[in-house]
């Protein structure tokens, strides 16, 4: 018997969603404080996460629970590859490495795919629908903060294969509600979605040290210039 999974996921992850938005890295990002070095490390981490998720979901397109929500239009791997080439150069494959938090995330994706594939729905919902919902806003923030061109290093936020976000999300919710699961499995999927938020928060927190160091460096430079110019004189950036 199917259950109303879409609303259960939305309501059941509200607290985790708020906690993720309140991490230092995300808070700074939303305020337009974006350090390119930290950001490109996030892009690298996301690449490994999405490679794992898309690899496992690709194997499960005939699965009765995972298959119905799988959509190539959502896939982020090729977009992230384009962004990594922009940030790290053409030899990025020999340069980028996942952080320990990303490695934990990837391991969890492979684990649930092997043991309880249905739980991938929680991860799929948490990442892809979040990306699709906030893509335009986050792209604009990153573009302005890092002074980037229209598409430079921002392909991750672009869903060219989805012309109408609202229509797609409505169809996605219908697919979630039609999945052949019982309430016990729905509860497990919601719990796994919350765990996905936790894994994302761990990645963000791992990057906070780099961001704080970058902000501290900028502040130190500002104060040094103030001392040289005299405390009553304006500082030219």
Domain definitions of the chain by residue range: 5-208
pLDDT confidence of residue 111 = 98
- The CATH homologous superfamily for domain 5-208 is Heme oxygenase-like (1.20.910.10)
pLDDT confidence of residue 56 = 98
pLDDT confidence of residue 1 = 54
Question: What are the backbone angles phi and psi of residue 180, rounded to the nearest 5°?
Answer: -80, 70
pLDDT confidence of residue 34 = 81
pLDDT confidence of residue 103 = 97
pLDDT confidence of residue 210 = 56
Per-residue pLDDT of the chain (237 residues; tens, 9 = 90+): 568 999 999 999 999 988 888 887 888 888 888 888 888 999 999 999 999 999 999 999 999 999 999 999 999 999 999 999 999 999 999 999 999 999 999 999 999 999 999 999 999 999 999 999 888 888 898 899 888 888 899 999 999 999 999 999 999 999 999 999 999 999 999 999 999 999 999 998 888 765 444 433 434 343 334 444 444 343 333
Question: For the residues of 73-121, what is the DSSP string, one character each?
Answer: GG--HHHHHHHHHHHH-TTGGGT----HHHHHHHHHHHHHHHH-GGGHH
pLDDT confidence of residue 232 = 39
In terms of C-beta density within 10 A (0-12 exposed, 13-18 middle, 19 or more buried), how is residue 224 classed?
Answer: exposed
pLDDT confidence of residue 108 = 98
Please provide the distance, in angstroms rounded to a whole number, between the alpha carbons at the two ends of the chain: 63
CB 23 within 8 A of CB 196: no
Task: Measure the CA–CA gap between 197 and 205, rounded to whole angstroms.
Answer: 12
Long-range contacts of 145-148 (CB under 8 A, 24+ apart): 145/29, 145/32, 145/33, 145/34, 146/34, 146/36, 146/39
Task: Measure the CA–CA gap between 168 and 173, rounded to whole angstroms.
Answer: 9
pLDDT confidence of residue 134 = 86
pLDDT confidence of residue 205 = 85
Task: Measure the CA–CA gap between 40 and 43, rounded to whole angstroms.
Answer: 5
Task: Measure the CA–CA gap between 156 and 28, rounded to whole angstroms.
Answer: 19
Supply the pTM of this predicted model: 0.86
């Amino acid at each position: 018997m199917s259950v109303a999974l879409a609303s259960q996921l939305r309501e059941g992850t509200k607290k985790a969603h708020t906690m993720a938005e309140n991490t230092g890295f995300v808070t700074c990002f939303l305020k337009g404080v974006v350090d390119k070095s930290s950001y490109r490390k996030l892009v690298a981490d996301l690449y490994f996460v999405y490679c794992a998720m898309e690899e496992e979901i690709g194997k499960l397109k005939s699965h009765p629970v995972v298959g119905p929500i799988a959509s190539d239009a959502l896939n982020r791997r090729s977009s992230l590859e384009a962004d990594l080439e922009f940030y790290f150069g053409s030899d990025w494959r020999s340069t980028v490495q996942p952080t320990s938090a990303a490695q934990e995330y990837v391991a969890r994706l492979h684990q649930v795919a092997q043991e309880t594939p249905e739980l991938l729905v929680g991860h799929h919902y948490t990442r892809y629908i979040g990306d699709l919902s906030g893509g335009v806003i986050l792209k604009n923030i990153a573009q302005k903060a890092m002074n980037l061109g229209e598409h430079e290093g921002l392909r991750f936020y672009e869903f060219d294969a989805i012309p109408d976000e609202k229509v797609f999300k409505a169809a996605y919710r219908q697919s979630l509600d039609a999945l052949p699961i019982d309430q016990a499995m729905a509860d497990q999927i919601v719990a796994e979605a919350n765990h996905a938020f936790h894994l994302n928060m761990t990645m963000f927190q791992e990057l906070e040290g780099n961001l704080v160091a970058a902000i501290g460096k900028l502040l130190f430079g500002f104060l040094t210039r103030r001392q040289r110019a005299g405390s009553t004189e304006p500082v030219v950036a």
